Amino acid sequence: MTIHLKIWRQKDKNSPGKLVDYTVDDANPDMSFLELLDWLNERLMNEGREPVEFDHDCREGICGSCNLVLNGMAHGPMQGTAVCQLHMRKYKDGDTIVVEPWRAKAFPMIKDLVVDRSAFDRIMAAGGYISVNTGAPADANAIPVDKYNADQAFDYAACIGCGACVAACPNSSASLFTGAKISQLAHLPQGDPERNRRVVNMVDQMAEEGFGDCSNYAECEAVCPAEISITSIAKMRREYFNALSEIE
Amino acid sequence: MSKAATFLNSQVGRKIATGVTGFGLVLFIIVHLLGNLAYFAGAEAINTYSHTLHQLGPLLWIVRLGLLAFFLYHAWLGVSIWLERRRARPEKYEVYASRGGASRQSWSSSSMVLTGILLFLFVITHLNTFAFHDFATITYGGVEMHDVHARLTEVFLQPLYTVYYVVIMVLLGMHLRHGVWSAFQSLGWMSRKTNPIIYSIAFVLALIIAIGFIGLPLSIYFQLV
Ligand code: SF4
Ligand code: FES
């Protein structure tokens, strides 16, 4: 199949970028989208041209490295799917796909389709951790967790930290990511010791990094490959309110 | 910083404040709508209603000032959140599309700032037309009161004003369609199960309010009452 690509090329943060046209005329429907880019890059390199930079690692939807906006949708058109798991059979022969990086002030451009997502690491460092005893591993069942909370925590823990929620949000808000992390730990007894400080610090850090406010557009939930629900954001708000009333 | 200041400066606090002030304003709108309906019960009913409200004296002023504060704060939050979004994404997408599905991006949510600003301007003209108007008086059982009924009739017999009012009430319905649902989410009153229910209730409420407000001017204009 023939696929026309318009790919965002940008040398670095300080150079202007633009969409560049490429055509792959022998794409295979069984290729993943990233394999299509590999295929294109191989050709570019053989021609002595510079390959397209893009992020990827596991290519099985679990690491959160891949980050492409296809025709205006973060991770492309398929619900609950990271772009590495999107296959070309989803497209028709002759389709044109516009490929852009995540765009947000808090995710500065590195090159082409690669942006710096370390803002997420700093949000995590601000409170996305728990206190555990070092030494011999504890028995896994030593702390009882009821099924409801275990399930909730597990759903929120599915976040792979990709940043699609920010990319798709008209406000560039990081609320879904931060909400998922806070909600996950708020449902577990292990999260209790830092509970109040966690939510206050993570919410602060989110603003500090330059992410926008949330307007409840819920576009984040629609593009999230882990299908994290915006109820995590509602939960974060409850947690924040309770934390401020309890903190001295 | 005090706790209250920390709260009101945080992204979560701003959102909760938007929801709380929004709910307050919706409550006022509902009371206002019920008051309007008194017109249908005749001149004496609505004039007496308005007169009774004015008898409340200081209490009325407390409510008025509270409403004004809510209104201004709500508007300021909305505009500042909108300004913030421009800062948070300096370089726009060449192509942007909503994925649909769980997304609540719609004609309503995407135009909140616009409908909000138009409603803000409307309120100023609306106060000028009614609240600050020099009413004629009428006497019932020896009590002199403002003839609100006559003023309403006079205003809504004008085609231009009636059209303007109806259009604004459609915008109000649009604003509330996303606003009411959004306020629940902002206050954290949301679970996976209640989400679609509240979203539907918000739609019905917005529809009832818009239709309710449109009913009076149209009835007057077409002389149905
Ligand atoms: S919440 Fe979803 S979209 Fe956002 S970072 Fe986590 S997995 Fe990605
Ligand atoms: S490459 Fe790991 S999630 Fe896509």
Per-residue pLDDT of A207-231, as tens digits, reads 999 999 999 999 999 999 999 999 9
**Rounded CA gap, B205 and B193, in Å?**
19
**Rounded CA gap, A74 and A173, in Å?**
14
Give the three-class secondary structure for B72. Answer: helix
Q: Are both A60 and A126 inside the same structural domain?
A: no
Task: Please list every residue in chain A whose beta carbon sits closer than 8 Å to the beta carbon of residue B186.
Answer: 216, 237
- Would you call B7 and A216 a contact, using CB atoms and an 8 Å cutoff? no
**Rounded CA gap, A213 and B9, in Å?**
11
Give ipTM to 2 decimals.
Answer: 0.93
Q: Are both A121 and A142 inside the same structural domain?
A: yes
| H or E stretch at B122 | helix B112-129
Final residue belonging to a domain, choices A60, A85, A111? A111
Residue B147: φ, ψ to 5°: -90, 80
Q: Which residues contact A39 (CB under 8 A, 6 or more apart)?
A: A24, A27, A31
Cβ–Cβ < 8 Å for A98, A19:
yes
Residue type at A99? V
Tokens of A144: 């009882």
Q: Are both A175 and A230 inside the same structural domain?
A: yes
Q: Are both A85 and A135 inside the same structural domain?
A: no
Query: Looking at residues B158-168, what average pLDDT do you find?
Result: 97
**Rounded CA gap, A188 and A206, in Å?**
22
- Confidence class for position A247, pLDDT limits 50, 70, 90: confident
Question: Which of B91, B99, B102 is nearest residue A73 as measured by Cβ atoms?
Answer: B99
A99 strand-pairing partners: A7, A70
Q: Does B116 have pLDDT greater than 90?
A: yes
Q: Does A135 have pLDDT greater than 90?
A: no
- Confidence class for position A120, pLDDT limits 50, 70, 90: very high
Residue A58: how many other CB atoms lie within 10 Å: 14
Cα angle B187, B191, B193 (rounded to 5 degrees) comes to 140
Question: Chain B 105-134, CB below 8 Å of chain A: which residues?
Answer: 105, 109-110, 112
Instruction: Please report the domains of chain B, with CATH numbers, ordered by start residue.
Output: 8-90+102-221 (1.20.1300.10)
Final residue belonging to a domain, choices A93, A111, A129? A111
Per-residue pLDDT, A122: 98
Per-residue pLDDT, B215: 95
Q: Are both A105 and A123 inside the same structural domain?
A: no
Q: Are both A55 and A134 inside the same structural domain?
A: no
Q: Does B79 have pLDDT greater than 80?
A: yes
Per-residue pLDDT, B2: 85
**Rounded CA gap, A237 and A60, in Å?**
32
- Would you call A213 and B109 a contact, using CB atoms and an 8 Å cutoff? no
Tally of domains within chain A: 2
Question: Across chain A, what does the average pLDDT equal?
Answer: 96
Of the candidates A112, A221, A113, A122, which has an alpha carbon nearest to the alpha carbon of residue A166? A221
Question: Which of A98, A234, A237 is nearest residue B94 as measured by Cβ atoms?
Answer: A98
Q: Are both A168 and A66 inside the same structural domain?
A: no
Q: Are both A29 and A148 inside the same structural domain?
A: no
A180: contact with B, CB 8 A cutoff: no
Task: Count A/B contacts: CB-CB distance under 8 Å.
Answer: 147
- Which of A10, A115, A215, A220 to mutate to probe the B interface, most B CBs <10 Å? A215
Give the three-class secondary structure for B203. Answer: helix
Give the three-class secondary structure for A218. Answer: coil
Residue A9: how many other CB atoms lie within 10 Å: 18
**Rounded CA gap, A17 and A8, in Å?**
7
Q: Are both A97 and A153 inside the same structural domain?
A: no
Q: Does B1 have pLDDT greater than 80?
A: no
Cβ–Cβ < 8 Å for A50, A27:
no
Per-residue pLDDT, B201: 96
- Which of B2, B3, B12 to mutate to probe the A interface, most A CBs <10 Å? B12
pTM, two decimal places: 0.95
The CA A167 to ligand 1 mean position distance, Å, reads: 10
Per-residue pLDDT, A132: 83
Residue type at B57? G
Query: Looking at residues B7-14, what average pLDDT do you find?
Result: 94
Tokens of B56: 């409340």
Per-residue pLDDT, B183: 97
- Confidence class for position B57, pLDDT limits 50, 70, 90: confident
**Burial call A66-93: b when 16+ CB within 10 Å, e when fewer:** bbbbbbbbbbbbbeebbbbbbbbeebee
Residue A131: φ, ψ to 5°: -90, 125
Residue B131, Cβ density class (10 Å: 0-12 exposed, 13-18 middle, ≥19 buried): exposed
- Confidence class for position B187, pLDDT limits 50, 70, 90: very high
Query: Looking at residues B184-197, what average pLDDT do you find?
Result: 93
Q: Give the domain extent around A220.
A: 117-247
Cβ–Cβ < 8 Å for A223, A73:
yes
Q: Which residues contact B208 (CB under 8 A, 6 or more apart)?
A: none
* Percent of chain A with pLDDT strictly greater than 70: 100
Q: Are both A128 and A81 inside the same structural domain?
A: no
Q: Give the residue whose CA is nearest to atom 1 of ligand 1.
A: A177
Final residue belonging to a domain, choices A111, A139, A167? A111
Q: Are both A185 and A85 inside the same structural domain?
A: no
* CATH classification at residue A228: 1.10.1060.10
Q: Which atom of ligand 1 is nearest to the CA of A180?
A: 1
Q: Does A134 have pLDDT greater than 90?
A: no
- Would you call A234 and B190 a contact, using CB atoms and an 8 Å cutoff? yes
Q: Are both A86 and A145 inside the same structural domain?
A: no
Q: Does B161 have pLDDT greater than 90?
A: yes
Q: For strand A114-115 and strand A109-111, is the pairing parallel, antiparallel, or unpaired?
A: antiparallel
Q: How far is A87 from chain B (nearest CA, A)?
A: 17
- Would you call B103 and A72 a contact, using CB atoms and an 8 Å cutoff? no
Q: How far is A29 from chain B (nearest CA, A)?
A: 22
Q: Which residues contact A148 (CB under 8 A, 6 or more apart)?
A: none
Tokens of A195: 């509970």
* CATH classification at residue A79: 3.10.20.30
Query: Looking at residues B200-213, what average pLDDT do you find?
Result: 97
Per-residue pLDDT, A138: 80
* Shortest-distance ligand to the CA of residue A176: 1
